[in-house]
Amino acid sequence: MSAPEEEPIIFAPETFQYNKYSLDIGDVEKDPIEQFTKWFKEATDDPDETLAEAVTFATAELPSGRVSSRILLFKELDVRGFTVYSNWETSKKARDIQSNPHAALTFFWKNSQRQVRIEGPTEFVSRQLSERYFKLRARGSKIGAWASPQSQQIEDRTELDRRVSEKEAEFEGVDDISCPPHWGGLRVVPLEIEFWQGRNCRLHDRIVYKRNGEHDPWKIVRVAP
C-alpha cells in the first residue's frame, strides 16, 4: 500500500503563455554559432533583458551520476565553442568535470521568450586566453579569485573576510594582479545546440543542430515540444 500523498507546499502557479514569435528551420542560419550570435545580440540589445549573459552551467559527477547546476556569466564565444571562467581546483563543478568532462549550458531570455540549450564535451582554454580575460576583471574580483577556496566549507563570513584582507595586503601596490593558476576558462565544444522559441499552449518551436563529433557536419532537425 502506497503512502498517502502530502499536501503540496506550492502547487500549479499561474501559467505563463508564450505568444511573441515563431521559429522554423527556414528561419535559422546553417551554422548554429551564427544563429546563437544573432539571438545573443538581440538579447543584449534588448533593454528589458537585464543580464543576457547569465547562463545555467550543468555538470554531472561520475560514478554517482549526481547532477548539479549553477548560474554563471558567459564570457566568450569562438568558432569552437562557449567559454565560462571559474575556479577549477576546489569548486564543485571542477570536481564534476574531473570525473566527467561533459557539460550543458542553458540560456533563457524571458522578454523574447527564447531558450538556447548547448551540450558537449569540455576543454580548458589556453593560459594565454585565461590571463587575457582575467586582466579585464575588477580589482576586487581578482583578489576574490585568489582569496576564496570556492565550494569548500569555511567557518563563517569572518573567515572569508580575513582571507580577502590577507590577499589585499599581499597585493598592495601591485597594479597588475596575476591570474591564479587554478582559475581560468573552460570551453564547451557543442555537439548539440537547441534553439527554443516559446509558443502558445506549450506548443513550442524547437530547432536542434546535432553532430557526432566536432569536425562532423551539422544536421538541423525540428523536434516536438
CA distance 199 to 154: 45
From 66, 127, 139, 202, the catalytic residue: 202
Say whether 70 is catalytic.
no
Per DSSP, the three-state class of 193 is strand
Place of cell 569548500: 152
What number of helices (H) and strands (E) belong to the chain? 5, 10
Vertex 122, ends 57 and 225: CA angle to 5°? 50
DSSP strands (E only) in the chain = 54-60, 67-73, 76-78, 81-87, 102-109, 114-124, 183-188, 192-197, 205-210, 219-223
Q: Contact at 8 Å (CB) between 112 and 20?
A: yes
What's the DSSP call for residue 33?
H
Size of the chain, expressed as the number of residues it contains: 225
In DSSP terms, 59 is beta-bridged to 68, 103
Number of other residues whose CB lies within 10 A of the CB of residue 203: 10
Joined together, the cell numbers standing for residue 32 give: 548554429
Query: What residues act catalytically?
Result: 202
